[in-house]
A = this chain, B = another copy of it.
Amino acid sequence: MKNIIVAQSGGPTTAINASLVGVIKGALSSGGYDKVFGSLYGISGVLKEEFIQLENLSDEELHRIYSTPSSYLGSCRYKMPEIHEDSSIYEKIFEILNKYEVSAFFYIGGNDSMDTISKLAEYGSSIGSDIRFAGVPKTIDNDLVATDHTPGYGSAAKFIVASMLEFAHDTSVYKTPTVTLIEIMGRNAGWLTAAAALARNEYSDIPQLIYLPEVPFSTDNFIKDVKEVLKSTNNVVVAISEGLQDADGNYLSATKAACDKFGHAQLSGVGKILENLVKEELGVKCRSVEINILQRCAAHMASAEDLEESELLGEKAVEYAREGKTGYMTTIVRTSNEPYEYKIELANLDGIANQVKQVPKEWINPSGNDVTSEMLDYVRPLVCGEVDIEYKDGVPVYADISHLTGAV
């Protein structure tokens, strides 16, 4: 009996279940594996032997999981200890993997998850185990190195672009000067915020200004920029990254701008802080809008390209494991921008986990308040294509997650 375990970890995205379906399909179609165990709540589900079996799902069920947001198997934020510090947890995991006759383990996740899979592979090698370990990338932030982009990024970007265009309509209706600040996710990398530029079209140049964490943020320059744009339009919309930092590397959102009624420090988001600044400095109507968690879970606006690639990354991970490879992450290598073409390759996990890929400085304009056409060429193909979502009584139909919610 040769079985596999698949698990998901880290923050939710719209594409992480497409990779799950890729792993399941890859395992079943290869004929090389028998059972597919889904570990609930990431690696912590392995330790507790909380498994559900996935090899008997129908095509219809698989398709529904494919287009369902967030992690079908649940998630965790579990940091594995260094092997030399505490090997007992590794021993326990391998004991369980052997008990369930597991010959390959697939972990779909971001930075921390790649760290986990890397350590498991390392421990496996050290004891001469032939269990294969593979990572499948995932993060809306697109900040993983070694891959052209990450699953989840394209869908989040698509939702942001569509929203930004809808904001352009919403904010154009009055003749009074107004500034609208749209706060977008990405603590250390501005990929998502940069994507907002795709909303510009022949009748709208919104967002007129874009600020990424890659550029030290100056409130003086920001106010000057907004003032300048207000000279030619009543309707200024600005895309700002939640991770903006000053020249000393301090997050704007950590300036404790406000205190609550008990006098306790209260962290404000960047949007709220800059909203108050605009009102103070320019005396103009200003509203800040946080797109918030919708950008990572609005599966009704997923990018078809993103989900297809995510599935393929899962399938290929299984294929490589069958070939005997271990300790890798599947990656996307872009071979052409126009037409957009790519292939799936492998990257060794060493060094992936603790790096952050930022928007290249050359893709940001010299003033640090916009992105260049290279950035647009990069992201444009990733938001393409719409996913057919089933609706019932006007509401999207997603996969049943009662194994997580505990509903009877």
Given A300-B166, A405-B204, A405-B235, check contact A289 B280 (CB 8 Å). Answer: no
- B276 adjacent to A260 (CB under 8 Å): yes
Surface stretch bound by B, among A54-62, A63-71, A221-229? A63-71
A386 to chain B, nearest CB (A): 6
Given A198-B395, A393-B384, check contact A300 B297 (CB 8 Å). Answer: no
* Partner of A166 from B163, B174, B299, B391 at Cβ < 8 Å: B299
- B74 adjacent to A401 (CB under 8 Å): no
- A258 adjacent to B262 (CB under 8 Å): no
For this chain, the copies found in one complex come to 2
A166 to chain B, nearest CB (A): 4
* Partner of A174 from B74, B173, B205, B260 at Cβ < 8 Å: B74
Question: In which size bucket is the chain A interface?
Answer: 35 or more
* Partner of A255 from B203, B261, B264, B386 at Cβ < 8 Å: B261
- B394 adjacent to A161 (CB under 8 Å): yes
CB neighbors of B among A197-225 (8 A): 198-199, 201-205
Interface residues of A (CB under 8 A from B): 8, 12, 41, 44, 68-71, 74-77, 158, 161-163, 165-170, 172-175, 198-199, 201-205, 233, 235, 255-262, 264, 266, 276, 280, 287, 289-294, 296-301, 303, 305, 380, 383-386, 391, 393-396, 398, 400-402, 404-407
